[in-house]
Amino acid sequence: MRFGVVVFPGSNCDHDTFHVLNNIVGVKTDFIWHKDSILSDYDLIVLPGGFSYGDYLRSGAIARFSPVMNAVKEYADKGGLVLGICNGFQVLLESGLLKGAMLRNKNLHFICKYVHIRVKNTNTPFTNALKDGSVLKIPIAHADGNYFASEEDLKNISLNNQIVFQYSDENGNINDDVNPNGSLLNIAGIINEKGNVLGMMPHPERASEKILGSEDGRFIFDSILNYLKNRR
Amino acid sequence: MKAKITVKLKEIVLDPQGETILHSLNEMGYDKIRKVRQGKVFFIELNETDEKKAEELLKEIAHKVLSNPVIENYEVEIVK
Q: How far apart are alpha carbons A60 and A86 in whole angstroms? A: 10
Contact state of A103 with B66 under an 8 Å Cβ cutoff: no
Q: How far apart are alpha carbons A123 and A161 in whole angstroms? A: 9
Q: Is the CB of B13 inside 8 Å of chain A's CB atoms?
A: yes
Q: How far apart are alpha carbons A190 and A152 in whole angstroms? A: 15
Please report the ipTM that was assigned to this predicted complex. 0.86
What is the domain extent for residue A46? Answer: 3-231
Catalytic residue check, A94: no
Closest Cβ opposite residue B70 in set A65, A150, A182: A150
Cβ-count burial of A147 within 10 angstroms (0-12 exposed, 13-18 middle, 19+ buried)?
buried
Statement: residue B71 has pLDDT above 80:
yes
- The H-assigned helical ranges of A103-198 are 151-159
For position A74, which CATH number holds? 3.40.50.880
Task: Specify the pLDDT at position A232.
Answer: 67
Catalytic residue check, A203: yes
Contact state of A57 with B66 under an 8 Å Cβ cutoff: yes
Q: What is the pLDDT of residues B17-70, one digit of tens each?
A: 999 999 999 999 999 999 999 999 999 999 999 999 999 999 999 999 999 999
Reduced to 3 states (helix: H, G, I; strand: E, B; else coil), residue B14 is: coil
**Bridge partners for A147 per DSSP:** A102
Task: Specify the pLDDT at position A37.
Answer: 87
How many domains does one find in chain A?
Answer: 1
Backbone angles phi, psi at B5, to 5 degrees: -115, 125
Task: Specify the pLDDT at position A225.
Answer: 97
What residue in A sits closest to B12 (Cα-Cα)? A150
Which parts of chain A register pLDDT below 70?
A: 232
Structural domains in chain B, sorted by start: 2-79 (3.30.1280.10)
**Bridge partners for A146 per DSSP:** A103
Catalytic residue check, A13: no
Single out the catalytic residue among A13, A86, A116, A142: A86
